[in-house]
Amino acid sequence: MHGAGNDFVLIDARKQDLEMDRAMAERLGDRHRGIGCDQILILRQASEPGCVLRYEIWNSDGSPAAQCGNGARCVGLYIHLNGDVAEDHFSVESPVGVITMLRCEDGEYELGMGIPEFDPGRVPIALEPREGSYHLDSPWGKLELGAVSIGVPHALFVCDDIDDENLPAMGGFVRAHPAFPEGVNAGFAQLRSRNRIHLRVIERGAGETLACGSGACAAVAILHRAGRVDDTVTVVLPGGQLVIKWRGNDETLYMKGPAKHVFRGIMNE
């Protein structure tokens, strides 16, 4: 499955015995010797009342992940394809808590992604903000960034050229920087208007992906807090578009975007 090009292997383990580990996640995620994906989604029986199911997220490098907006939409699509619910509005358990989902009339899914957390200890980031932003020394000079947690840590840099060939190297430098004790997803945004931005994200467990749902949410949250975008923003990523809605403060942030089924198969492990 994929959401705006961010691709997933989804395994329904509700009726089969499956213990995922780092080695298996790496094998499945390998694009040459496995199936190939950015992340792996494992479906389990729900433990919270009122939820259809719960799911785990594993990165293609074998590390577990806590949040993935594009993956969550694919879980929503699978639930309907599998006939688990007939309703358009339902809830699932993610690694960071319960997520509400809505299947929209156009076939896309809208998710409640929680409340963005800007406190440095919650991101986490081992730097002190100055006038609402952080600064890092780098081989490219001093970098100014915003930081937020959307269930996972994100750093955002505003750039003049979204096609700058240095962005992947800069993202790799930032995502492993000691200022981020848990690593970080590095996003680069070019503002086109107050309700439209272009975004690239270098993820901490998968490298650069065609889309990053939580990264789009993080970008809008940081820019909105700085007064640079409106409450509804279209985020253009290499693989497609997402619509992010946030009114600020302690309001829930919402993400809307596509989810696609690609193929179903069996892999002998």
- 225 Cβ neighbours under 8 A, 6+ residues apart: 116, 118, 132, 146, 248
CA distances from 169 to 138, 166, 173, 175, 208 (A): 11, 6, 6, 10, 10
| Among 68, 74, 159, 217, the one annotated catalytic | 68
d(CA 118, CA 248): 12
| Among 37, 74, 159, 212, the one annotated catalytic | 212
To the query of whether residue 51 is one of the catalytic residues in this protein, the response is no
Contact 170, 205 (CB under 8 A): no
**Beta-bridge partners for 110:** 102, 256
Residue with tokens 């096609």, as numbered in its chain: 163
To the query of whether residue 68 is one of the catalytic residues in this protein, the response is yes
**Burial classification of residue 250, based on how many CB atoms lie within 10 Å of its CB (0-12 exposed, 13-18 middle, 19 or more buried):** exposed
Phi, psi of 79, deg, nearest 5: -55, -40
Residue 165 has a CB neighbour count (10 Å cut-off) of 7
Q: Would you please indicate which residues are annotated as catalytic (active-site) residues?
A: 68, 212
